[in-house]
Structure 1
């Protein structure tokens, strides 16, 4: 008699590799929302700072429906407190920059109208010799008329922009004024993990850096080499801590892990008959083998829709759109020069890079060309990470371009020879080419910032051998 296919030992042992990608209609899914352990990744908690107040409140209310199932690993809590200040500061800076940009646009509009008037006057005189019409135009569209015309419009725009201040959340070492922090703490109550013993952490870091990462075993191997061994092992430390927690109790049979991290060290790329990536089957197998528990991994949009479906939480379509928009706006895994021009750098990364380099905040606003500003900020993010001036941030992309190169041939017709930089400030004046956006940035910088930027660029070149 032939055994049913699912009962064959080989099929049963490798079932995670042949099963379809997880679906929201899986019959077993409800158990994860009603009787499982739910772990929220750090990026899920930090994203609460990015939502509007109304959406944030709906999401927190929805999470209270599964409050009894939540558990906070120590690694998640640690990363949350390490990055909380950076996220809030980056948000505040982005709001301030938007208001400054608005004022600049209004000023540019005034100047454009004046230039249009002047150009028309020149045409009237040059082609019609009509000085009278030119004089009438000067009176009809005077500087005062232009200011009055734009006054109401600018007031409306500025009043709307000023409303953004209501979305600010204060930053302090304690919880004073930070409503997100206090609500998150109340959400988890005492369902939080204690710090692992130092020797346990050391053993796990060694396991990650010496065995798992070199062999591309998920999770976290994409972070290998980013900063110190401890800093690059965050995902694996979270994974090990969670497995240990699940294994400590036979009653914990289902784990739902919610994360916005869909890199290749958590998700298997599409292929082999699959149209989209799926969580690595290895993770499900390891969780079952070591902890006797079933694993399900979901993105925030799917998770919150699950709470709504199974527990009837009230989440509006507007909030779902905000959740999905935040997830879709994730930064690419790597940034080329072309990508840098069309991809705005995340405010939290900009803040971290400026602080790490010790640059004046005003520098960002003195760079007039938008493309040059974006290229500069992405390079600064990459340089401060590469030179270990700051710790890497979760899901931070690799920046694949530099502001200078040492080679005989000119890399691009627009690149300038190193002799364009000041004698005594740039060590490669006779042997380098400089990107035009970097020259533009240096010209807009103070003497102090100029020296800092050239020092960073020179240190980067010192890591790369000279091209012939």
Structure 2
């Protein structure tokens, strides 16, 4: 039975370990970008890992393209953070100052003393940020890019031709409409075929590489979307079963996927030279993941609030028309009161559904919660 449904049986530790002996290791662009995003000690350990894998390292052209398209955002975003943090902190402190200035009298609070304390804190923070900015490792990060470039020299797939991109666009539209993995979670992405069908292009290249080299593929990615992962009740069990079966059918080889933190733990067992730094690297990766999740949640909450405002405006307009409020009108004439009442019911239900979601808490809570994190059960 297992031979007929290979994707539905998560790999045992022994099976996964056996893949490492002959596999081609394919880091995704988000993994390569970790080499630029983290502190020096972590950056060095990540590059040491890639160096240890060098003999079996390979990336599709699309991965390299996404790395280069995003690396300046990572580099310049880190450089811009100093001024942004100073401005954000000053804005918060100014609110506190204004509240203090509005105290006409208070039995225990010394307004002048507290204002001076806020000014001292702001000055200290600004000084630390300016010092950190002056010490920003521009040259070291450039050296990391140079090392990655050297490590991947001769280990990158070919650029797709226009006719290949046209074909994958046609195939991708059909696959995404049927939710065939991978990539369908990017169906709404703007930016053309390269953005929308990037995962599918990477997938096709990995199948072709496995077939030509007659070797299995281990994909390393921090893409946690369901169009790559088999997720059951919040637990990642491995690659989507459909991916395993399509990969075998197209290459006669096996396929496995790791999140980078998980991959790092197993890599440390095989490469003693990176064992000492694993804990530090893993902590930095976890911190980065919490920040990424927090950023994503806040963006989603802001988008939801905007949507709620649109729904409320439409609801209020319909109520005004149905109640005969002066000056109220709808863009469609004549007014279909039955249709308006039906739409009003839909809007009310949709708004009630939004009210049950904890989006506001996302924006109000200063820290993140790791309760949604999932793990794959096998190596």
Instruction: Give the TM-score taking structure 2 as reference length.
Output: 0.72
Gap regions ≥5 residues in structure 2: 320-326, 332-341, 345-379
Q: Distance in 2 between matches of 1:93 and 1:177?
A: 15
Q: Structure 1: which 5+ residue stretches go unaligned?
A: 1-9, 125-136, 333-338, 347-373, 380-398, 413-427, 433-465
Partner Cα distance (1:167, 1:407) in 2? 52
The whole-number CA distance in structure 1 between the counterparts of 2:36 and 2:88 is: 23
Match of 2:310 among 394, 404, 408: 404
Question: How many angstroms does 1:161 deviate by?
Answer: 2.7
Post-superposition shift, 1:68? 1.5
Larger displacement relative to structure 2 (313-322 or 161-170): 161-170
CA distance in 2, matches of 1:101, 1:241: 44
Shift of 1:27: 1.4
- In structure 2, distance between residues paired with 1:58 and 1:179: 14
Cα distance in 2 for partners of 1:324, 1:41 equals 17
User: 1:57 is paired with a residue of what secondary structure?
Assistant: helix
How do 1:182-221 residues align onto structure 2 when only pairs under 5 Å count? 182-210=146-174, 212-221=175-184
Correspondences of 1:57-76 after superposition (within 5 Å): 57-76=44-63
The higher-RCO structure (CA 8 Å, 6+ apart) is 2
CA positional deviation for 1:403: 4.6
**2:127 is matched with which residue?**
159
Offset, 1:467: 5.5
More helix by share: 2
Matched residue, 1:99: 86
Tell me the CA shift for residue 106 of structure 1: 4.1
Residue 105 of structure 2 is matched in structure 1 by 119
Deviation at 1:319, TM superposition (A): 2.1
Give the structure with higher Rg (CA). 1
CA-CA distance at 1:77 after TM superposition? 0.8
Change (3 A) 1:429 1:233: farther
The change in CA–CA distance for 1:411 and 1:258 in structure 2 (over 3 A counts) is: farther
Distance 2:116 2:258 in 1: 54
Aligned partner of residue 39 in structure 1, secondary structure? strand
Superposition CA RMSD, Å = 3.7
Match for residue 301 of structure 1 among 261, 268, 271? 261
1:88–1:14 Cα change, 3 Å:
same
Distance 2:299 2:36 in 1: 17
CA contact (8 A) 1:73 1:238 kept: yes
TM-score (norm 1): 0.60
Tell me the residue number matched to 1:12.
3
Q: Is the 8 A contact 1:88 1:169 kept in 2?
A: no
Residue pair 2:36, 2:141 contacting (<8 A) in 1 also: no
